Each structure stands twice: as C-alpha cells, then as structure tokens.
Amino acid sequence: MVEVQAGQLTPTTNLTQALSSVLPHARKLRLLSWCVTVVVVSDQFSFLTSFANTADDLRLLVWSTRLLVVSRLPLLQLHHLLTSYWAFSMMNTAFLTQQHLNTHTSKCEVWSHLPYPVGGGGGQVVRVASWSEGRGLVMETTAQTIYQHKYNTFHGGKVNMTVFPFPPYWMDETLDTDGGRSNDHQEKEGDGNGGRRKEVEEMENGDRGRRKEEEEGQMKEEMEKGDRGRRKEEEERRMKEENEKERRMKDEEVGITGRDYIILETIAASLNLTINVLPYGEWDEVMGRLEDRTAYMSPIKLALMPHLLEIYDFTLFIEPATLGFTMAKPTLKPRWQSLYYPLRPSVWASIMATLLVVPVLFIWVGRQVDEVVQEVVSDEWTLWRATEVMLGSLLGHTFPGTLSQRSSVRLVTASWLVFAFIAGTAYRSNLTAFLTVPKYPPRPESLAQLIGAGASVMLPPDMVDFYRSFEESTSDVFRKLYERVEFVPDFKEGMQQAMQSNKAYMYERLNSQLMMAEHFTDAEGRTPLYVNNQNVMPGYCGWPLTRDAPFKHVLDAYIMACHGGGLIEKWTQDVLRTARTENRKKQLLKRNQRRSKKEKAMVEEEGVEEEEEEEEEGATETQESVTKNQALTLVHMQGPLFLFLLGVLLSLAAFILEVLFLKVCCLPLHRLRL
C-alpha cells in the first residue's frame, strides 16, 4: 500500500512527479505476477487524472491487470474520466462510487466504459453493478461480472489500422466484375491509401467538372442559335457516355490483398470488427500513429527488436524474421585449374607415384630375360624412355617397338595398360563434366559470409529500425554490418547497384524475391541476381500494436489458431503463387505489346527505324541467349590452351638450349678431331 498525501507535495514536487516515483515499484510487482489488481482510492479529480496519465506513461497496466478506482466523485466527473483517459476507458478498469440516498441510506455503484458497445457507435459508460442494504449486490449487465470482456467482440466497431504497403503481405488489388484480379504493388513509397482508389476518384471528379462546363457552354450556344434538336441529340449522347462511365466504375473497384491482410480479414470476421485503413504514408508517419494512438495496430509483420519493444506491443509471432539480402550471381571467371578439378589431390598423388614406380619395375623385370634379348632391351629401353612410354600410354599412345616374350614383362605391361585405361577414361569423363558444367565460385548465403566477402550493405529508408538495432548490438558481426551500411531511396536503386558492384541490398526475403521476379527477370526466367536462403537476424516477426494494447490477448488467440490449422503457411504460398501468375501475365502482355508495335512499325513509314532498332535489339538478345547456352567457351577451355602454350614454350626453350649446346660444345670438339 502506498499513500500520497498533500503534505508530501512541495513547490518543486507536483503530483505527477510524486506518482512517477511510486508507480515504478508497482510496475515491478506487476511484472512479477501474472494477475495483479490495483486499487486506487481518491476523491480528488486532479489526482485521478495525474494517475491515469502517469500509469499510461510508465506502462503500469496491461489487460491482465485489474484496476479498481474507489471514489465519491460526481457522476459528471466520473463520466469524463472514463471517456477521456486510456487507463480508464480502454483498460480492464472499474469505478466504485458511493451515493448517499439520505442520511441513513447509501448506495454503491460500479461503472465501466465499453469502447465498442452493442449496436456500434462510440464508447459508452455503463453501470455494471449496484449494491444497497435492501437489495444487496445486483448485476446490471448480462456478463454477470464486474470486469467486462470488452474485446471478445467489437460489435462492428471501426479499428484504425496504419499500414506501410509491403508486397506480398499488403497490396492494393483491382477487382473486376468478370472475376479478374490485378495487383498494384505500390512501388512508390508514400502513396495515399489506395493510390488506385484516389486515382479513380480524381478521374471521376474531373469528368463531372468537365461535363458541367460542357453543359454550360452548350446551353449558351443552343440558346443563341435556338437549335433545340442539336441540344436533344447532345443530351442523349452525354447521357449515354455517363451511363457507360458508371458501368465501368462499377465494373472496377479497388480492394486490398496480401498475406497479412488475409489474416487480418479472417480475424476481423471472427471478432466482428470493421477494418479502417488510414492513408498510406512514410515509415515514420505510419509508425508514429501507433505512438500517439491514432491507430491501434499495424497488421504488417515487423521483427521483434529490443528498442521497438520499449515503444510498441507486438502480437504473437507470425513467422520467423526473414530478413535477407540480394546480390549479383557470381560469374564464371577464366581458370586454368579446370584441368585439375576432375580428380582429387590424393588421386593425382597416386598417379604420380605410380609413374615413378612402374618404369623402374619395368626396367628391372626386363633385365631378367635371356642374354640375347637382354642386349636388345639394354640398348633401347632406358629409365627415361620407359617413363616416357608409360606416360604416353596413360594419354592413349601405344607401346613402340617389340617387347620381351617373358610372361613377367608382359604381365607388368598388361597391368599398366589396364590401369591407364581406367584412369584415363575416368579423367576424360570427369573432365567433360567439369568443362560443360563448370565450378562456379561460392556465393555468400549467411551474414558471416557476407561480411567475409567484404561487401557493403544497402538499406531503404524504412529499415532504419534495423539500422538502430545493428548499432546497439553487442555482436561483432552486426557491428561490422552497421559500419558498412549505406541508404538507398528504393529497391530499384539498391538492386541495380548490387548488379554493378560488390554490394548487397538487404530487405525482407519474400518481398525481394517478388520485386526481383517482376523487375529484374527476363521473359525466359533468367535473372542476374539471387536472394540468400538464410535469415540474417535470429528471432521472429509480429504485428506492432500501440503500447499496452488491451486486445492483444484476443489477437494472440486467433493467430495461434491460424498457426495450428496451418493457415498462415497456406496463405503465404497462395499469395506467392498468385504473384508469380500475375508476373507471368504481365510479361506476356509486354511481349504482345512489343509484337503489336513491330506490326505497326512495318506498316507505317515513320516506324521503319524503330523496327530496325527492335530487330537489332532482338538479334542482340538472341546472340546473348546463344552465348549463354554455348557448351564450351574460352572460359572453359582456358586450361588446355595454357597447357599447350606452356608445352610450346618449353619446346622452344629446349630447342634453344640444344642449338647453344651444339655450337658451344660439339662443334669445337669436332674441329679438334679433324
């Protein structure tokens, strides 16, 4: 129990400061227990207002914390407190008041505030229960409890949502009466709520103003000329155009789609709440609405980071934090080691050892033949010549000359030929595989590999919270990542720079894959970029809520049910499948438009030059496609060419040495003999 007396207040210590020194101790107690009841007793209006503000600022109350305020304030002031302060209106709060009916009889009443009452409309202050000596305790509501279940159903009430467009989790969608759909990914940051909806409204207003001006001008002209027949004809034409416009407006409506919106829509149907999406804006503006409680939730997944937990509440996790990075695919560089890759180092060592042992064994066995054959072999077969012959047979050459008739020599020769055949065949087959399917350099897939590659990291402006998290981290890897961060205006700039230099564009993985497929993938499905497959940050993502959101436990229960039924994973796959289908449709549409332009260019004389340019571009694309599909290029065959050039250089060096040796040593000796 804590008591704040008026005598404790000094000229330098007001009521708010006194409460600020007391309520942190109460919050520690609340954090230690899962169920706490806070009782506040005061008859001063100023004290209760200060308590409500301070308790909200210090985050004393959550929904599991019950607050009972005992006061004898008039009902007018009581209603003002219940409707004007978050701690009293939205939290699990009840007011106990006492009214004196006469000098001998008094009556106690319990009041509460329902932000979403039955029948909709605004908040409502209701009497929950009453007590008197004659009647005892009487419950005034059907809930039969003093603390009301305010958020089990919203009775159709509107809940403000603040959203930053984030494909494929939240996208604008154009709905047609024919059942067709097309997604508007909101590529440009900071567009208004439903940029397509705003565009349709502006077009409609512009058409109305234009029609009004045309009507006034035509009426004046008709009055001057007296041409009533023409007026009637123009009116009929105008009515026909207006009807056609209305029909098109009905055929086309703008909606919202995306994985997180589907989850929100499902939960909203169960809780009977109306989704009210506020206008889109910049990231700071969107998240600022949660801080000042203009909106109560942002149904877009966000990673749970320590500095954000101090500002917002979060729902139960939606999925793991899928932060990734996009980089250019490593290209195949010319490497002469392609001749070395088909066999492991241990195999190469075994072959070299065999080449050293077999010639010695061959010479030793050959010397055991009879005296006639021994003279022939000793004249022709030396250790160097035997090594040369063995190496040649390994490359596919035959044995020159004749061999001994002894079985020992022929067994050694047969064993070597079998070994040479197997080793040579294995090397040739593996060499073909390594030349046609070359070994590409490894590409970074984890954050540690990205840091080790020395690449810098680009972030868009809405990733500033991650930037702060990197700055506050104690991990060496995240500290190095923080030092290499630079900001880019949007994903197009980031991915374009990633293609041109050793940089990585870091963003949410599914969004990056979607943008890469839509803007950096050709009609054949090729892209120079890739998205890593490992999460950069450990942890999970949830929906950010306004701090101490009283309906968090209700949302958590429904999100857990969605996890249990496998719905979130299913909706994720459905949205990605739809996005890929839409992307293919757009590519086909672009291809058809390109063909139609070519046909028009062939007919019109002015389009001849454009046709030639398009043909050149098509030829270039075809040439690039053929180049990419070639089995062997100079990159693949660099090793054999280097080996051939090395042999030519060695032969040239040997030739020069032989010539010098003959001129220096052999010619003077020959002259002396003469």
Instruction: Give residue-wise pLDDT tens across range 226-270.
Output: 555 566 666 666 666 655 555 444 444 557 888 999 999 999 999
Structure tokens at 345: 């180092």
**pLDDT tens digits, 434-458:** 777 666 778 899 999 999 988 999 9
| Domain-wise residue ranges, the chain | 6-150, 161-170+258-321+542-605, 189-256, 342-436, 631-674
% of the chain exceeding 70 in pLDDT:
70
What CATH number is given for 161-170+258-321+542-605 in this structure?
3.40.190.10
| Bridge partners, 13 (sequence order) | 10
Asked if 425 contacts 153 with a C-beta cutoff of 8 angstroms, the reply is no
Residue 666 has pLDDT above 80, yes or no: no
CA distance 347 to 326: 39
Whether pLDDT at 662 is above 90:
no
Using one digit for the tens of pLDDT, what is the confidence trace for 149-201? 899 999 999 999 999 888 888 888 755 444 444 555 444 333 333 333 444 34
d(CA 424, CA 407): 25
| C-beta atoms surrounding 444 within 10 Å | 19
pLDDT in tens, 543-552: 999 999 999 9
Mean pLDDT of 494-506: 92
Least confident piece of the model among 358-362, 538-542, 544-548: 358-362
Is the Cα dihedral 469, 475, 480, 481 positive or negative? Answer: negative
Q: Round the average pLDDT of the chain to a whole number and report it.
A: 77
Where is mean pLDDT largest: 382-386, 488-492, 593-597, 626-630? 488-492
What is the token pair recorded at 427?
């090397």
The b-or-e profile of 572-583 (16+ CB within 10 A means b, else e) is beebbebbeebb
Task: Indicate the CATH number for domain 6-150.
Answer: 3.40.50
Q: Does the pLDDT at position 133 exceed 50?
A: yes
| Verdict on whether the full-model pTM lies above 0.85 | no
